[in-house]
Chains A and B, each alone.
Chain A
Amino acid sequence: MAIIHIDGKSYDVKEGRNLLEACLSLGIDLPYFCWHPALGSVGACRQCAVKSFKDEKDTKGRLIMSCMEPVKDQLRISVTDQEASAFREQVIGWLMTNHPHDCAVCDEGGSCHLQDMTVMTGHSYRNYHFTKRTYKNQYLGPFLNHEMNRCIQCYRCVRFYKDFAGGKDMDVFAAHNHVYFGRHKEGTLESEFSGNLAEICPTGVFTDKTLKQHYTRKWDMTYAPSICQGCSLGCNIIAGERYGSLRQISTRYNGAVNGYFLCDRGRYGYEFVNSPRRIREIAIRNSTLATITADDALRHLKDKLTGGRVIGIGSPRASLESNFVLQQLVGQDQFYLGMTHTEHDLATLALKILKQGPVRTPSMQEAAAADAVLILGEDLLNTAPMLGLAVRQAVRRQPTQDAMNAAHVLAWQDAAVREAMQDRNGPCFILNIQPTGLDEIATRAYHAAPDNIARIGFAVAQVLGAPVTVITDLTEEERQLVQQIADALSAAARPLIIAGYGMGNEASLRAAADVSWALHAQGKPAMLSFTMPECNTLGLEMLGGLRLDSAVDAVLNGEVDTVIVLENDLYRRMDKHTADHFLKHCKDLVLLDHLYNATAEKATVLLPAGSFAESDGTLVNNEGRAQRFFQVYGATGAIQESWRWLLQLGAITGNERLRHMQFLDDVTEAIAKRQPVFAGIDHLTPPADFRIAGQKIPREPHRYSGRTAMQANVNVSEPKPPVDDDTALSFTMEGYRGEPPSSMIPFFWWPGWNSVQSINKFQVEIGGSLHDGDPGKRLLEPNGNSNGNGHIPWFTDAPEHFVPMAGHLLMVPVYHIYGSEELSVHTPGIAERSPGAPYIMLNPDDAKRYEVAEHHQLQLAVNGHPYTFTVKINPALHRGMAGVPVGLQGIGIAEVPELGKL
């Protein structure tokens, strides 16, 4: 600790940070632009100037940039000093010389860091009276607007896009006061993280294009703290609504999970909520679909549910609450996990390893702090993008440390560190079936068949001391690679192993576990991270249930009368033929879902289910962290949360297990009580009766405008605002104005801080955790009793070497950040960026053998059914394999790996 003196007062602060962070952490308002807690300091904008004094006697002092000044004991500064304040005001004056002052028509207006800082410095009179320079803007694709005239040249965009996120297609051009931030040529920004520019840019240069389609000011939205449903990582988001449509997703800072950022699938994939394909009415199908009332539907279903055998099919994209209530409604023995059998196997295995093994699964921020990384068969940027971003940070750890030692710089001195480390990266090994976007930062990237990747993993484990069946037939190249990986992992202080669903290959998970356990046995705090296919796969697996195949069997055997499907399109869980067959044999099919999908076409009863924006619920991410999301707005029309529908079904059928359950808290309490793995999830967020100063937490900023007029075209008397009985959040602007508990922050706002930068005010220290801890609760901790091999035995058997099979292709999954996920493709921009038509990816040798070339059609039989695909050639793909883009619309195959016959 160091004692520093600021304007005559002394403070105890942490050494090693910079003075700007220290001041902000102390709650002192100091303006800044170019510094960002995740990007560090470069000293470009000169906005954060303060006066520094040599000692008590020094009265003159000199201006310093606080972001560039390391905190040292007995530092003596003044923030309020007249010269320092005048200089800061002048900096705004300079920045405004060319700024268009177009706040009234700027999307950033009202949530603009430049506005906030202008007010903070007191700059209110314009002295510059010459002409302004103007720029041409660029088309940057479906996600971002570009308005360069508003640029204040803080360089944050390029520093985030290039340096932090590894983007290549954006830069700064020209010099002096002509510098331009954009692309070499107009076109779509390709980075998976481009959307963060809208938050990184302190003014209105880069703004959210999807928001612009239905623009609303920040203060005019109703917000809720939510969780991204785009993949298994569970990034924290803020979702904003107005007039019954979801308008924007932005980052909800979580110091343990996603930090300051989101990926573009997460940020932009929300439009399905507003989709014209939404199921909004309750419908029943006789020969055609007819709308009915809720009462009629419940009465109709009461007969069905009490009359015959009922089974429920849950969903890895539905909340724990909805899955649980379904399970209770139909009974444990009638509850099926709605996953493909591969997903089911992988999830079961992953959970077993995480629950019983000795190695910890890291949070994303812990993963970013790893100093050596081994990835076995994951194309992270397409399967778990933000974890890919964490790996990008992890590879900088070792060189950063070296730079700090050699050049005596601190980690936040961003430019100095980058100059000292140049392009060096720490150890990172990426093994995958085809090249990945992260290969460029890998020490070695190796492309092989899934089983061969697993074998290399096992061989590494063996070198590290795991009792694995000796693997003999590695090539010389592979042997060297194995040794190199083993050496790097042994030399690291915090090695991280990543595997997951990306190859659909269980052996790679086992190998990953072995490697991490072997490192653990060497006494290292190794980390093991498994990606999961969907936002609640792990939660569903923890809840437990039967395999989907047995549901199919039960129905085909005629044992079942009614099937209740929860938020699931079964055509994504089985191939088209099986699904058709299965659904044909369901006598009654009750579907609760958001969108009119293929399963909905077969349903006999459709219940409109609230999306994440219209529901409260809990998800368990790949880390085993349970996190709560909240309704953004009261569902319109007949839509309600799935769990509420199911509770109503329970009530009408007199279900004992669901008795006394009515509200969200009742459900979470029951889950926690009945299933010990979920202990504590009833306290993830404060209960519905939680009040601060007797008040609820408002979902709307206190400047929310026009409430009394919003419905004036319908009725001049103001409607009664909806009441939220489930949570401590209110649907209005009335309520407690201060800081809410960290798990319930609907939006970041602080007096004088209208932009996202207000996050500073909610953190214990800058870039650290939120005031009362980062939200969420880890449900899985490593088995502390175990040592070395732990309570779970080592996996000793490596798979056989992959041998191509004559006349067959092993179809392996290929994932696309845009396109593979079911709901996000209903955002036009995401659909535009998806690869479109399904394809099959072949090695050139195979293509030659089967006499096809790029763009040709290839017919394959899978499970006896013919499929035709367009050929794509990829020399990195192993012979005998075929890459198939999972989840793309029209693919017809849901289950890979699978053998395809030519």
Chain B
Amino acid sequence: MTEAPLTGHIKDGETLDLRAYEAIGGYQALRKVMQEMTPQEVTALVKESNLRGRGGAGFSTGMKWSFVPMDGKGPKYLICNADEMEPGTFKDRWLLEGNPHQLIEGMIISAYAIQADISFVFMRWAYKEAAAIMRKALSEAYAAGYLGSNILGKDYHLEMHLHTGVGRYMCGEETALLNSLEGKRATPRAKPPFPQISGLFGRPTIVNNVETLSFIPHIMNKGVAWFQSLSRTGDGGTKIYGVSGRVNKPGAWELPMGVTVRELLEEYAGGMQNGYGFRGALPGGASTDFLTTEHLDVPMDFTAIAAAGSRLGTGTMVVLDDHTCPVGFVHNLEHFFAQESCGFCTPCREGLPWTEKILYALEQGHGTTADLEQLDLHTRWLGPGNTFCALAPGAMEPLQSALKYFREDFERHVHEKKCPYGNHSH
């Protein structure tokens, strides 16, 4: 049995309440930190562990924290990004519903490391159950003295609030999330200045993903070597992987970092459903490039997947089967991205609907060769740096790889003037 520190204790459909969590050693890490460690030591340890963010971008967590100024007056903030709205992604929900105190403990330790005064869990609106669980867990934590003033007798004070959103995928982008928390439109902010310097209400702020933060207590308890030993590769830790689509057993599993695509598909997801073949998959949510049959043995970690031309992203895979039209598939994705564009920068606001319309035209049999060129151009023009934030470049990843791997399918739509799969109406 592989070790699953984040989820091993979660029984299907149940939640660990405070007592249950404490019974399995919960809040010991916090105790240890409060008694033995300075904020700088916590950050140093996390840095050393090389924990990389699980929210999609894979940035070093300890490094991010180290940019927070430790002098100066005024509040600082720690924010847990529990917006999880990337299509195909459902991993944070598991942690939120199964073990909220693990996250809370992780947040308190992280907040202590940057000496934050206030923290928020920014949760997407649809997680009604998770929100109720989190609300209960927060009041338990307050009652037990883990939150509020003089935490565990130490001169450290932290408030923690739950904020539930009102829609919009953009809220997951960390700077747009800050605007949303400030009661504004969730449009992204320019970087620099980075949130670590000027974030929520203009104050130093750290935003981390649920899975990232849930790891913190374990790293405090068991150390760097243990953390690295969990992984099969250089990127430490376990990772929550998921698979959805036409597989036999869709689901999510906490596994050593670096299991291969094949293992995930065949061992954990039980292989493709009867009569369906594997054509490709988005390895880490809607905004990652397709991997195909040639990549089945790629280890699912940040480095190897990048080398294979995609991104680990959230680690939750969406499978494209051989009965499903790849053009329809990306049409569905671009429809999502076009809808969720905040409307701030030109390429994203105007370019995404354009690609969506072309893909729709292709599906309807009205597409032309010129349209395909236009799609190619868009994948280039909506690339990183050309748009204001990462939404549009993310949107282009599945499209550009689909154009690369499934070009024939696009061309058949043009030449046959219909969708050769014919299985999806719109």
- CB pairs A–B below 8 angstroms (13 shown): A46-B387, A62-B385, A64-B385, A94-B350, A94-B354, A98-B350, A128-B354, A175-B343, A176-B339, A178-B343, A407-B193, A408-B193, A415-B189
Among candidates B202, B370, B387, residue contacting A421 with C-beta atoms closer than 8 Å: B202
A157-183: which residues lie under 8 A (CB-CB) from chain B? 172, 174-179
B344 and A155: CB pair below 8 A? yes
A63 and B343: CB pair below 8 A? no
A177 and B347: CB pair below 8 A? no
Per the bound structure, the CA–CA distance linking A260 and B114 in Å amounts to: 44
- A871 CB to closest chain B CB (Å) equals 40
B190 contacts partner chain A, Cβ-Cβ < 8 Å: yes
Per the bound structure, the CA–CA distance linking A408 and B354 in Å amounts to: 38
Q: Which chain B residues border A68 with CB–CB below 8 Å? A: 190
Residue of A nearest to B373 (CB): A127
B164 contacts partner chain A, Cβ-Cβ < 8 Å: no
A397-443: which residues lie under 8 A (CB-CB) from chain B? 403, 406-409, 413, 415-416, 419-422
5 additional contacts, CB 8 Å, given A175-B342, A177-B341, A420-B198?
A90-B377, A128-B354, A175-B343, A176-B343, A403-B198
Q: Which chain B residues border A90 with CB–CB below 8 Å? A: 347, 377, 381
Per the bound structure, the CA–CA distance linking A155 and B189 in Å amounts to: 14
A95 contacts partner chain B, Cβ-Cβ < 8 Å: yes
B189 and A416: CB pair below 8 A? yes
Most buried by A among B193, B370, B374: B193
Residue of B nearest to A174 (CB): B343
Q: Which of A37-45, A283-291, A494-502 lies at the interface with chain B?
A: A37-45
> Are A416 and B343 CB-contacts (below 8 A) given A94-B351, A153-B349, A176-B338?
no
Q: Which chain A residues border B354 with CB–CB below 8 Å? A: 94, 97, 128, 130
B343 and A419: CB pair below 8 A? no
> Are A419 and B338 CB-contacts (below 8 A) given A43-B345, A44-B345, A47-B346?
no
- A443 CB to closest chain B CB (Å) equals 19
Q: Which chain B residues border A11 with CB–CB below 8 Å? A: none
- B150 CB to closest chain A CB (Å) equals 29
A91 contacts partner chain B, Cβ-Cβ < 8 Å: yes
Per the bound structure, the CA–CA distance linking A709 and B377 in Å amounts to: 49
Residue of A nearest to B168 (CB): A175
C-beta contact mask, B65-98 vs A, less than 8 Å → 1, else 0?
0000000100000000000000000000000000
Q: Which chain A residues border B374 with CB–CB below 8 Å? A: 127
B47 contacts partner chain A, Cβ-Cβ < 8 Å: no
Residue of B nearest to A42 (CB): B190
- B337 CB to closest chain A CB (Å) equals 9
B357 contacts partner chain A, Cβ-Cβ < 8 Å: yes
Per the bound structure, the CA–CA distance linking A409 and B353 in Å amounts to: 34
- A97 CB to closest chain B CB (Å) equals 5
Q: Which chain A residues border B386 with CB–CB below 8 Å? A: 46, 49, 63, 87
Q: Which chain B residues border A407 with CB–CB below 8 Å? A: 193, 197-198, 202
Q: Which chain B residues border A155 with CB–CB below 8 Å? A: 344
B388 contacts partner chain A, Cβ-Cβ < 8 Å: yes
Q: Which chain A residues border B349 with CB–CB below 8 Å? A: 94, 153, 176-177, 179
Per the bound structure, the CA–CA distance linking A692 and B354 in Å amounts to: 52
B189 and A419: CB pair below 8 A? yes
Per the bound structure, the CA–CA distance linking A419 and B203 in Å amounts to: 9
Residue of A nearest to B351 (CB): A94
A177 and B350: CB pair below 8 A? yes
A40-59: which residues lie under 8 A (CB-CB) from chain B? 42-47, 49
Most buried by B among A87, A174, A177, A421: A177
> Are A176 and B385 CB-contacts (below 8 A) given A46-B347, A407-B197, A416-B190?
no
Per the bound structure, the CA–CA distance linking A799 and B71 in Å amounts to: 50
Per the bound structure, the CA–CA distance linking A42 and B340 in Å amounts to: 20
Per the bound structure, the CA–CA distance linking A155 and B344 in Å amounts to: 8
- B177 CB to closest chain A CB (Å) equals 13
Q: Which chain A residues border B350 with CB–CB below 8 Å? A: 94-95, 97-98, 177
Q: Which chain B residues border A174 with CB–CB below 8 Å? A: 343
A45 and B345: CB pair below 8 A? yes
B185 contacts partner chain A, Cβ-Cβ < 8 Å: yes
- B308 CB to closest chain A CB (Å) equals 22
Per the bound structure, the CA–CA distance linking A493 and B180 in Å amounts to: 36
Among candidates A62, A91, A421, residue contacting B346 with C-beta atoms closer than 8 Å: A91
B341 and A176: CB pair below 8 A? yes
Q: Which chain B residues border A177 with CB–CB below 8 Å? A: 338, 341, 343, 349-350, 353
A359-409: which residues lie under 8 A (CB-CB) from chain B? 403, 406-409
A43 and B190: CB pair below 8 A? yes
Q: Which chain B residues border A44 with CB–CB below 8 Å? A: 344-346, 388
Per the bound structure, the CA–CA distance linking A64 and B339 in Å amounts to: 26
B345-395: which residues lie under 8 A (CB-CB) from chain A? 345-347, 349-354, 357, 361, 370, 374, 377, 381, 385-388
Q: Which chain A residues border B202 with CB–CB below 8 Å? A: 403, 406-407, 419-422
Per the bound structure, the CA–CA distance linking A419 and B184 in Å amounts to: 11
Q: Which chain A residues border B275 with CB–CB below 8 Å? A: none
A275-318: which residues lie under 8 A (CB-CB) from chain B? none
Q: Which chain B residues border A178 with CB–CB below 8 Å? A: 343
Residue of B nearest to A422 (CB): B202
Residue of A nearest to B360 (CB): A130
A95 and B338: CB pair below 8 A? no
B276 contacts partner chain A, Cβ-Cβ < 8 Å: no
B8 contacts partner chain A, Cβ-Cβ < 8 Å: no
Q: Which chain A residues border B342 with CB–CB below 8 Å? A: 175-176
- A151 CB to closest chain B CB (Å) equals 11
Per the bound structure, the CA–CA distance linking A420 and B185 in Å amounts to: 17
Per the bound structure, the CA–CA distance linking A416 and B385 in Å amounts to: 18
B226 contacts partner chain A, Cβ-Cβ < 8 Å: no
Q: Which chain B residues border A172 with CB–CB below 8 Å? A: 185
Q: Which chain B residues border A422 with CB–CB below 8 Å? A: 201-202
- A340 CB to closest chain B CB (Å) equals 49
Per the bound structure, the CA–CA distance linking A47 and B354 in Å amounts to: 18
Residue of A nearest to B199 (CB): A419
B192 contacts partner chain A, Cβ-Cβ < 8 Å: yes
Q: Which chain A residues border B347 with CB–CB below 8 Å? A: 46, 90-91, 94
B370 and A127: CB pair below 8 A? yes
Residue of B nearest to A130 (CB): B357
Q: Which chain B residues border A94 with CB–CB below 8 Å? A: 346-347, 349-351, 354
Q: Which chain A residues border B344 with CB–CB below 8 Å? A: 44, 155
Residue of B nearest to A52 (CB): B385
C-beta contact mask, B181-209 vs A, less than 8 Å → 1, else 0?
00001000110110001100110000000
B345 and A46: CB pair below 8 A? yes
Q: Which chain B residues border A62 with CB–CB below 8 Å? A: 385
- A86 CB to closest chain B CB (Å) equals 8
Per the bound structure, the CA–CA distance linking A482 and B340 in Å amounts to: 52
> Are A409 and B343 CB-contacts (below 8 A) given A63-B386, A127-B370?
no
B192 and A409: CB pair below 8 A? yes
A416 and B198: CB pair below 8 A? yes
Residue of B nearest to A175 (CB): B343
- B44 CB to closest chain A CB (Å) equals 24
> Are A175 and B341 CB-contacts (below 8 A) given A46-B347, A87-B381, A95-B346?
yes
B198 and A46: CB pair below 8 A? no
Per the bound structure, the CA–CA distance linking A175 and B357 in Å amounts to: 18
Most buried by A among B192, B352, B381: B381
Residue of B nearest to A399 (CB): B202
B144-171: which residues lie under 8 A (CB-CB) from chain A? 168
Per the bound structure, the CA–CA distance linking A42 and B346 in Å amounts to: 12
- B72 CB to closest chain A CB (Å) equals 8
B197 and A408: CB pair below 8 A? yes
Per the bound structure, the CA–CA distance linking A409 and B189 in Å amounts to: 13
> Are A409 and B341 CB-contacts (below 8 A) given A46-B347, A94-B354, A420-B193?
no
B343 and A43: CB pair below 8 A? no
Q: Which chain B residues border A127 with CB–CB below 8 Å? A: 370, 374
Q: Which chain B residues border A419 with CB–CB below 8 Å? A: 189, 193, 198, 202
- B281 CB to closest chain A CB (Å) equals 27
Q: Which chain A residues border B190 with CB–CB below 8 Å? A: 42-43, 68, 413, 415-416
Per the bound structure, the CA–CA distance linking A406 and B190 in Å amounts to: 16
